[in-house]
Amino acid sequence: MDWLLVIVGVLILIISIVLIYLTFLSSSDQEDKLLSKVSNNILDDEIKSAVLLSQKSGEGGDFEKGLAQVQITHPVFWNLKEHLHKYIIWQDEFVNSLLIGILSSNHILVEWVPGLAKTKTLEVLTRLLKLDFKRLQFTPDMLPSDIIGTQVFNLKTQEFKIQKWPVFTNILLADEINRTTPKVQSALLEAMQEKKVNIGGEEFDLPDPFFVLATQNPIEQEWTYSLPEAQIDRFMFKVLVDYPSFEQEVKILEKANEDIELIKPIIWVEEIFQAKKEMELINVPAQLKRYIIGLVRATRVLGDYVLLWASPRGEIAIYQSAKTLAYLKWKKEVEVDDIRQVALSSLRHRLILSPQAEVEGLKADDLLMQVLPKVPTMI
């Protein structure tokens, strides 16, 4: 009887070792297949070896740093950021994203919990830029007219008067955009895209510059309406903001009572328009344009983990934001590091993850980091 127990124990041990080995082979084979798909779909045969070399040597750049460690060297905007940090502690990635969004005439979606100074950051920034700022708190009972405006009947003159609402501003904070209905979301996103609104059959142009920072609260899901994929794709960036460190929170307390009413502008709107003209002169080499396309096409080989991949709009977002970032770094030409630093922010919200990815606890950034570093710059 004892020898039977020994045999059973040995068999169980052998089966366990075989299962562990098969699991290891399966994971390795899955990664090889993923790499093979990237090579077959976006690369020529001549450069497949470059992808393999990139995988083995760890080349491909550090995408994870993103915009958090970008050093702005353009004298005008370096000075702006220094003034901003007198009132706002930490949040380098957020501040850099704001500057890129405003200068490139694009909009940003931010996901963070309440109380991390998003409103104060925008208030300080608009005062430094001498721009108009409005904040709009979205609620489930809002109507499109609460955003864009409506016709009001004047009893004295017996005429209708156009009443313009918060969207007529330079910088709009759309707070908790996922709390309002799809009809209201659509009205705002149409204004963002067209840069004009229709009130009572009459079209009105929005101010220039016009920039929207929309926020989503990732914690509360009750009475919320998720943005449709086609609408969330219109944001250039999705920025994730986490809590500050201990030392940063100490500095936040020290500056809590500073009066922002005393802030004086250091950049005028004419300088913003001039900066936009200068940005158009930033060169993007043909090789890097192909690299941008390669990065976006790489998201389409993520298989069962993704239901919807990045579209050409993602390529445009990377292209425009990389040019703007190169300008802020005071360069005349876009380089590889500029593209890599904006890639995650430009692509993370364009992937719709499958239930399988959610069950396994995978996020968009995790999947992007599986493929983006393996795309070679020489495509």
- Return the domain boundaries, the chain: 35-65+281-379, 75-272
The answer to whether the beta carbons of residues 99 and 236 sit under 8 Å apart is no
CATH code: domain 35-65+281-379 is: 1.10.8.80
How is residue 302 written in tokens?
């993520």
Q: What is the pLDDT of residue 41?
A: 47
Q: What is the pLDDT of residue 317?
A: 97
- SS3 of the chain: the string is CHHHHHHHHHHHHHHHHHHHHHHHHHHHHHHHHHHHHHHHHHCCHHHHHHHHHHHHHCCCCCHHHCCCCCCCCCHHHHHHHHHHCCCCCCCHHHHHHHHHHHHHCCCEEEECCCCCCHHHHHHHHHHHHCCCEEEEECCCCCCCHHHHEEEEEECCCCEEEEEECCCCCCEEEEECHHHCCHHHHHHHHHHHHHCEEEECCEEEECCCCCEEEEEECCCCCCCCCCCCHHHHCCCCEEEECCCCCHHHHHHHHHCCCCCHHHCCCCCCHHHHHHHHHHHCCCECCHHHHHHHHHHHHHHHHCHHHEEECCCHHHHHHHHHHHHHHHHHCCCCECCHHHHHHHHHHHHHHHCEECHHHHHCCCCHHHHHHHHHHHCCCCC
* Rounded distance between C-alpha atoms, residue 122 and residue 102, angstroms: 11
Relative to beta strand 352-353, strand 237-240 is unpaired
The answer to whether the beta carbons of residues 298 and 340 sit under 8 Å apart is no
Q: What is the pLDDT of residue 52?
A: 44
pTM summary value = 0.82
Region of 200 please: left (phi>0), alpha (psi -120 to 50) or beta. left
- If we measure between CA atoms, which residue out of 128, 158, 104, 19 comes closest to residue 327? 104
DSSP 291-313: HHHHHHHHGGG-GGGEEE---HH
Cα separation of the two ends of the chain: 67
The answer to whether the beta carbons of residues 121 and 88 sit under 8 Å apart is yes
* Rounded distance between C-alpha atoms, residue 311 and residue 296, angstroms: 7
Positive or negative, the CA dihedral 76, 80, 86, 90 is negative
* Rounded distance between C-alpha atoms, residue 175 and residue 166, angstroms: 12
Q: What is the pLDDT of residue 21?
A: 61
What's the CATH class of domain 75-272?
alpha beta
Q: Do domains 35-65+281-379 and 75-272 have the same CATH topology?
A: no
| One pLDDT digit (tens) per residue for the chain, 379 residues | 566 666 666 677 777 776 666 565 555 555 555 555 544 444 444 334 444 444 444 444 568 788 888 899 999 999 999 999 888 887 888 999 999 999 999 999 998 778 888 888 999 999 999 999 999 999 899 999 899 888 887 888 878 888 888 899 999 999 999 888 988 998 898 899 889 998 888 889 999 999 999 998 777 666 778 888 778 888 999 998 888 889 888 888 888 778 888 899 999 999 999 999 999 999 999 999 999 999 999 988 877 888 888 989 999 999 999 999 999 999 999 999 999 999 999 999 999 898 888 888 899 999 999 899 989 887 6
Say which amino acid occupies 163.
Q
Q: What is the largest CA-CA distance in the chain?
A: 106
Say which amino acid occupies 367.
L
